[in-house]
Structure formats: C-alpha cells, structure tokens
A and B are shown apart, each in its own frame.
Chain A
Amino acid sequence: EIVMTQSPATLSVSPGERATLSCRASQSVSSNLAWYQQKPGQAPRLLIYGASTRATGIPARFSGSGSGTEFTLTISSLQSEDFAVYYCQQYNNWPPREWTFGQGTKVEIK
C-alpha cells in the first residue's frame, strides 16, 4: 500500500496570506495525485487532479505542483471560504485499485 503523508497537520494562516501544503508518497505515484477540500459537515470537493490541473470551477488561487513522491498545494491568497481541511489522494496503483489518502491538513485562521 502506498502511504501518503501530509504536512503540517495544522497550518495557521492570516486571510490574504499564502498557504503551502505538502503531501509525500511512500513510493512514486508519477503525477497521479488529486487534492480535495473538505469543510465541516460537508463532503469533500475535488480541487486538483493530475497533480496540477484545476477541476472545473476552482479558482486560480489554488495551484498544485510536484511529481513522483513530493507534491504541493498552494493557495496564493487565502479567502475566508478557504479555511478547511485538505486531503491528497494517490491513484497510481492499479490494477487492482489501491487508492489511498493522506491524513489531511487543517488550514485555520491565524
């Protein structure tokens, strides 16, 4: 199983500042990585797939980068609606499917 490790667990950021979230894979997943945002009481929402492609309707302040084992999600200027938990997910190992998520990074207001 590919283990996904996110850091930090919690990130305290002021509105308008940049946030940088990291995700590391225990082995290479190429660019087969997605990022999701989850707000309290809501289902996750797809932000990024293919490590760097924004999903439909996702604002340009969200960007993804990386390949292999090291990935980054950057939120260029945090808005109030961006405070949430962010998860990375690898979808490299298949067949059969063995999709795994990171444990999440909570972005909170500083």
Chain B
Amino acid sequence: QVQLVQSGAEVKKPGASVKVSCKASGYTFTSYGISWVRQAPGQGLEWMGWISAYNGNTNYAQKLQGRVTMTTDTSTSTAYMELRSLRSDDTAVYYCAREHRRWFDPWGQGTLVTVSS
C-alpha cells in the first residue's frame, strides 16, 4: 500500500536548522510530487511548499521563502524538508503528503519539531 514514513521528533534551539525526511513506498516515487504541511499546536494546517519528485522543481509558500529547502533522493524514494533560522513559532508537527493532482493523499504520520531555548 502507498505509505509515507517520516523521521522522528526533533528538539532544536532558536536559530538552528532542522531537516525532516519522508520515505515513500508502494508507488512510483517519481510519478508524483510531495507537499509539506505543518500544524502548530492546537492550530490548523499550513501548506509550506511542494517538490516534484520527477525533476526536483519546487514551489514554496511566500512566507517561508528563503528559510525552507525541499529536496528528494530518487535512489531511496525519500523527500526532505529543511527549515533554517528556527523560531519558537516554527514549533509544529510537520507532515509530508503525496500530492495527487493537487490534493493530498496519503499523508505521513507527522514529525514534531520543538523549538526551545
């Protein structure tokens, strides 16, 4: 079955960087894009950006431009999301999701990133 498995929880200090991985299985990785969505504690969903697993093209949310980089490794069917210059309001659960014709299905299990001094 189609599955996305993410890396484990992270605790980072303000100003640091975090890199979250998302390993795909059960489908042809390069046939779909991966979007990243985050959810602050008790809040709603925020789309962060998208990467094509076919050619590496990216599209980032305007508010994160310059701080986020999304990459893929097609040899391992893994997508990565790196967020730099972390602030306390970056504390959230980060999800990867397969973008299927612009909607998201399925989603990874989520990775909690806590930013705290």
Contacts and interface: CB of A to CB of B under 8 A. Distances in A.
B45 A101 contact: yes
A57 B110 CA distance: 22
Interface string A67-105: 000000000000000000001010100111111111110
B102 A43 contact: no
Nearest to A53: B103
B59 A96 contact: yes
Given A91-B103, A94-B102, A97-B59, A43 B44 contact: no
Contacts of A96: 59
Q: Interface SS of chain A: helix, strand, loop or mixed?
A: loop
25 contacts: A32-B102, A36-B45, A36-B104, A43-B106, A43-B107, A43-B109, A43-B110, A44-B95, A44-B104, A44-B107, A45-B107, A46-B103, A46-B105, A46-B106, A87-B44, A91-B103, A95-B59, A96-B59, A97-B47, A97-B50, A98-B62, A99-B35, A100-B47, A101-B44, A104-B44
Interface of A: 1, 32, 34, 36, 43-46, 49, 55, 87, 89, 91, 94-104
